[in-house]
Amino acid sequence: MNILNKEELNRFMDGLKEIPRNQIIVVYENDNLDGPIEGVCKWQDEEYYFVWCGGMDEEKDEMIRKFFLIKLTDNQITEEKREHLRFVELSRCGKLEDFYEEKKSYPGVEINGGQLIGWFGD
């Protein structure tokens, strides 16, 4: 899922509740950099999208592992699952470059503050 306004979401961080990491089950990852960056997870028996909030700990020279938990609309979750199934299909055939070429035409998604449920750390 191409979230167009990821960086803007950080302004909502202070008003969000922390969700204990042991309550989050990662269903699948869409991106990974020394651990998941975004994907779909379950919390309290519902599916949500999670995305890395960004940021670096300069003293430790490592990523700050905090993630937004996002409630997607029905249309957004349908599109997300369609994208993921296409990724799996093409990766099994060794055609990932086809997926990334197709993905360029996928519409981006704007997330509003009301869709942010909370955050969790890794």
Domain boundaries, the chain: 7-121
- H or E stretch at 50: strand 46-52
pLDDT of 62: 63
Query: What pLDDT, on a 0 to 100 scale, did the predictor assign at position 18?
Result: 93
Q: Within 13 Å and on the Cβ side, how many CA atoms surround 38?
A: 15
- What is the tens place of the pLDDT at every residue in 13-51? 888 999 999 999 999 988 766 777 889 999 999 999 999
pTM of the predicted structure, to 2 decimals: 0.83
Per-residue CA distances from 106 to 12, 13, 24, 57, 71 (Å): 26, 28, 28, 33, 20
Residue 96: pLDDT band (50, 70, 90) is: confident
Q: Residue 103 is inside which H or E element, if any?
A: helix 96-103
Of 38, 33, 16, 46, the C-alpha closest to 109 is: 38
C-alpha closest to that of 43 among 72, 11, 4: 72
CA distance 106 to 122: 29
